[in-house]
Every structure is written in structure tokens, then in C-alpha cells.
Amino acid sequence: MNQDNIVIRQEIPSDYAAVEHLTREAFWNVYRPGCLEHYVVHVLRHDPAFVPELDLVMEREGELIGHVLYTRSFITANDGRRIPTMTFGPISIRPDLQRQGLGKYLLDRSMEQAAELGAGALCIEGNLDFYGKSGFVVAGTRGIRYHGEPEQEIVPYFLLKELRPGFLDGVTGVYHTPQGYYVDEAAAEAFDRDFPPKEKKRLPGQLF
């Protein structure tokens, strides 16, 4: 991948509309007919768990080509401790530029910044095919469970990565998705009406 002319910087308010548009384009009909993620981005910016320093846009020659944001999350450890983690997402690459290494580049650079900010580990829901290339493992294999899943269940989509080696040594417990990700679907529908009309399609591989 050619990294020339690529800039990754913090999002500013004048980016908001373009970032929401990009997110909508990237997620549309991927996991459900239509998508909610552009509304998730819109809502999370005002969430207490939001990490402004890690709300990042990627540009090439001044054009917006990617975005990722991070939130603070935690694991309730079986010994009673509350272990701080971070979570990221939505992460989006402009559809016509996907599968060229840009998503991995944005993710890897953003994780370096998260480590500099002091994050010890990241927990996410996602596809190991993509995130495995950046060092994520199935969290259940490290004794971290996804909230709501049965005790013995190892869910393949719940992943983690230590940013500080050993950060999760001796930790077992349950991870909680930050509440801000659970948006109201009717509110998301209403929000979407301000965007250009786009056909919702039921496609193979969707989760919802």
C-alpha cells in the first residue's frame, strides 16, 4: 500500500457530516439492510465514554478516505476489579478504496496512539479475518467473556488485543460493550432521512 500523502488526524466539527456520510456508505447493507453506524458515530461523539483524541480521520490528498473512533470500556474481573479497556468502532474505509491495506494502516496507527494514551488492552466485536492481521485474538481464549454469553461459550466475534504486553495476565472476567453503541433504531431511521435516499437490500451474510 502506498502511504504517500496519507494523513491521519483528529476529527474536527467541520468533518462531522462527511464522516457520517463515509460511515453510511461503508456500512450500508453490509450487516443489515441499510445501517445504523452513521447514527452511532453521531451519538457517540457526545458520549461520556468517547475518546476525542482517538476520533481519527484519514485523508489522502485532502480527501476523506477513512475514519475510526474509540471509546472507554471495561472488564469486570472475576476477582472484583474493574479493568479499564478501550473499544473502537465504527471503523470505515471509503468503499471504492477497500481491500488495499488502508483499513489495516488506519487501525494500526490508531492503536499506536491508543497505547500512547495509556490503553492497556482493546476489546472489540469483529471479524478475526481482518483484526487477526493486527494481532487480535478470540477473547474467550484469554478468559474474557462477552457480556450476556454463557459461562463456557467462546464467541468467535469477540476479540481482544493487549497494547501493553501482560496487561491482562491473571485477569478473567466479563467485558461490557459501552452503552452508547446501543442506539435507538427508530431514532437512527429518523436521522437517516436527512441523507440522500439509498435502497435497503437484504443480502447474504448480513447479521441482523
Ligand X SMILES: CC(C)(COP(=O)(O)OP(=O)(O)OC[C@H]1O[C@@H](n2cnc3c(N)ncnc32)[C@H](O)[C@@H]1OP(=O)(O)O)[C@@H](O)C(=O)NCCC(=O)NCCS
Kindly tell me which residue out of 19, 27, 120, 188 binds ligand X, with binding defined by CB under 6 A.
Answer: 27
Q: For residues 89 and 120, which CB has a smaller minimum distance to ligand X in the complex?
A: 89
Q: For residues 139 and 171, which CB has a smaller minimum distance to ligand X in the complex?
A: 139
Told to check if 92 binds ligand X by CB under 6 A, we report yes
Q: Which residue type does 24 have?
A: R
Q: For residues 19 and 171, which CB has a smaller minimum distance to ligand X in the complex?
A: 19
Rounded distance, CA 150 to CA 48, Å? 29
Told to check if 102 binds ligand X by CB under 6 A, we report yes
Q: For residues 6 and 30, which CB has a smaller minimum distance to ligand X in the complex?
A: 30
DSSP H helix total and E strand total for the chain: 5, 9
Rounded distance, CA 178 to CA 182, Å? 8
Told to check if 178 binds ligand X by CB under 6 A, we report no
Told to check if 104 binds ligand X by CB under 6 A, we report yes
Terminal C-alpha separation, the chain: 33
Stretch that binds ligand X, among 55-63, 84-92, 158-166, 168-176 (CB under 6 A): 84-92
Told to check if 139 binds ligand X by CB under 6 A, we report no
Eight-state DSSP code of residue 10: E
| Sequence-separated contacts (24+) of 201-205 with Cβ below 8 Å | 201/29, 201/33, 202/33, 203/29, 203/33
Contact residues for ligand X, defined by CB under 6 A: 26-27, 30, 89, 91-93, 98-104, 126-127, 129-130, 133
